[in-house]
């Protein structure tokens, strides 16, 4: 097992990439620590599978290098990299038994039968497949097949990394929850580096110690769930993580002064004085509150979500969401809102500035 380093990777599926949009992966360098539990989070089409396939060696990057520990493996084929990859849709040999399916990756590498038997039974038990080991895989439901796929990913020991590409897509919601907790537990037990790909923030945040957030072929932030919540480095992270996501509002920056709704705003850190580009503030609904004065708003909607109400207020064309704790009043007319300065950050062209 070893640390995995991606150095200045770029990838295009086109033979002659020219424009920015020709690159499925924009230039990135990412380190994956040995033994880490990572989630790779981003919407469909942002490049997650491309990135996984570059790590596993199914895909050669157009530019850059892949290192496992102190070895440059960029030119090594997938089967020389000692990794396990679980795909979005189950890869199962229907004519084989569940047992033989699980044993396959081990037998393929010449592991002796006593060891094969031990590992297959262990992994089978962890995934509640013990009862079905002797059955043909063809008789199983989609859930059962995906469990076999997961098992095949987990059955080998001492792999460099186990990668799961949206493995719970075809699984029903309850079992999804069970399997997700199980994977977390398995990570703690086997200690292998795991990369779990998902477009679902809940899945990412419950599984991972470190979340790698992707958007449009870029890695926009790597951080703990708390860091992503508290200090989103990019408006995309703020918006994508959180429920509801961060408010992103256009602002003007005039000589270092941040102006929104014709009023100066206090922010975390400084905005800088020579600002060029699209300027916005980011403030999470958790840190917006009603106040006596501040930004005048109209309340347009309020949804009860248990311990909170999600209130939507408008200032002109700008929509601002707030979380109002249960039991707190919501003003009728003449409402004003206030942003907590410690959590108000400035973004230029999407990227956070001076928000320390």
**Residue 45 binding partner per list ligand ADP, Mg ion, none, with a CB distance cut-off of 5 to 8 Å that depends on partner kind:** ligand ADP
Minimal distance in Å, beta carbon 180 to Mg ion? 18
DSSP 67-122: EETTEE-TTS-GGGS-EEEE-SS----TTSBHHHHHHHHHHTTT--HHHHHHHHHH
CA distances from 318 to 78, 109, 128, 251 (A): 49, 60, 51, 11
Minimum distance from residue 195 beta carbon to ligand ADP (Å) = 12
Task: Show the binding pattern over residues 35-54: x = contacts ligand ADP (CB under 6 A), - = does not.
Answer: -------x-xxxxxxx----
User: Residue 158 binds what, of ligand ADP, Mg ion, none (CB under 5 to 8 Å, by partner type)?
Assistant: none
Q: Are strands 257-260 and 263-265 parallel, antiparallel or unpaired?
A: antiparallel
In whole angstroms, the minimum distance from the beta carbon of 176 to ligand ADP comes to 19
Does residue number 26 form part of the binding site for ligand ADP (CB under 6 A)? Answer: no
State how far the Cα of 55 lies from the Cα of 85, in Å rounded to an integer: 10
Q: Of 49, 198, 235, 279, which lies in the binding site for Mg ion, with binding defined by CB under 5 A?
A: 49
Q: How many residues at the interface with ligand ADP, by CB under 6 A?
A: 10
Toward ligand ADP, which CB reaches closer, 41 or 161? 41
Q: Using CB under 6 A, which of 4, 6, 9, 24 touches ligand ADP?
A: 24
Residues 324, 309: contact at Cβ < 8 Å? yes
Q: What is the C-alpha to C-alpha distance for residues 155 and 119, in angstroms, rounded to an integer? A: 6
> Would you say 43 or 69 has its CB closer to ligand ADP?
43
Count the site residues for Mg ion by CB under 5 A.
2
- DSSP letter (8 states) at residue 136: B
Minimum distance from residue 231 beta carbon to ligand ADP (Å): 24
Q: Which is nearer to Mg ion, 48 or 345 (CB)?
A: 48
Report the relative pairing of strands 210-215 and 37-41 from DSSP bridges.
parallel
Q: Cβ contacts of residue 33 below 8 Å, gap of 6+?
A: 3, 193, 210
* Separation between Cα atoms, residue 137 and residue 306, nearest integer Å: 43
CB closer to ligand ADP, 27 vs 286: 27
* 232 contact, one of Mg ion, ligand ADP, none, CB 5-8 Å limit per kind: none
Residue 351 contact among ligand ADP, Mg ion, none, beta carbon within 5 to 8 Å by kind: none
SS3 66: strand
126 binds, among Mg ion, ligand ADP, none (CB under 5 to 8 A by kind): none
DSSP state of 269: S
Query: Please, what is the minimum distance in Å from the beta carbon of residue 85 to Mg ion?
Result: 12
- What lies within 8 Å, CB to CB, of 348 at 6+ separation is 275, 276, 277, 278, 279, 280
Listing from the earlier edge strand, what are the strands of the sheet with 288-291?
A: 288-291, 335-339, 295-304, 308-315, 318-325
Minimum distance of ligand ADP from residue 149's CB (angstroms): 17
Stretch of 45-53, 100-108, 172-180, 220-228 contacting Mg ion, by CB under 5 A: 45-53
Nearest in space to 159 (alpha carbons), one of 289, 356, 1: 1
Shortest Å, Cβ 48 to Mg ion: 5
Site for Mg ion, rule CB under 5 A: 48-49
Site for ligand ADP, rule CB under 6 A: 13, 24, 42, 44-50
């Amino acid at each position: 097992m070893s640390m995995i380093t991606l150095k200045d990777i770029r990838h295009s599926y086109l033979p002659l990439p020219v424009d920015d949009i020709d690159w499925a992966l924009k230039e990135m360098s990412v380190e994956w620590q040995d033994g880490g539990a990572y989630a790779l989070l981003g919407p469909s089409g942002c490049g997650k599978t491309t990135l996984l396939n570059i790590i596993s060696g199914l895909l050669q990057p157009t530019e850059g290098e892949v290192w496992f520990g102190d070895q440059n493996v960029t030119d090594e084929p997938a089967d020389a990299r000692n990794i396990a990859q679980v795909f979005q849709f189950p890869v199962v040999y229907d004519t084989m038994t569940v047992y033989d399916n699980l044993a396959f990756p081990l037998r393929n590498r010449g592991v002796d039968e006593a060891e094969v038997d031990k590992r297959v039974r262990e992994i089978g038990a962890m995934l509640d497949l013990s009862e079905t080991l002797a059955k043909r895989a063809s008789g199983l439901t989609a859930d059962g097949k995906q469990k076999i796929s997961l098992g095949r990913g987990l059955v080998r020991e001492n792999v460099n990394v186990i990668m799961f590409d949206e493995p719970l897509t075809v699984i029903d919601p309850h079992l999804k929850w069970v399997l997700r907790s199980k994977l977390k537990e398995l990570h703690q037990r086997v200690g292998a580096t795991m990369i779990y790909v998902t477009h679902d923030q809940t899945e990412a945040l419950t599984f991972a110690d470190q979340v790698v957030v992707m958007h449009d072929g870029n890695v926009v932030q790597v951080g703990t769930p708390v860091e992503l919540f508290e200090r989103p480095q990019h408006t995309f992270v703020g918006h994508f993580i959180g429920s509801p996501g961060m408010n992103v509002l256009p602002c003007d920056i005039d000589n270092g002064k941040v102006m929104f709704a014709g009023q100066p705003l206090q922010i975390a850190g400084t905005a800088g004085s020579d600002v060029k580009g699209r300027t916005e503030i980011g403030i999470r609904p958790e840190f917006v509150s009603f106040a006596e004065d501040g930004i005048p708003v109209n309340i347009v909607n309020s949804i009860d979500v248990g311990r909170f109400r999600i209130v939507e207020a408008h200032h002109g064309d700008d929509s601002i969401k707030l979380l109002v704790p249960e039991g707190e009043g919501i003003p009728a007319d003449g409402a004003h809102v206030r942003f907590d300065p410690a959590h108000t950050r400035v973004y230029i062209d999407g990227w956070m500035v001076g928000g320390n």
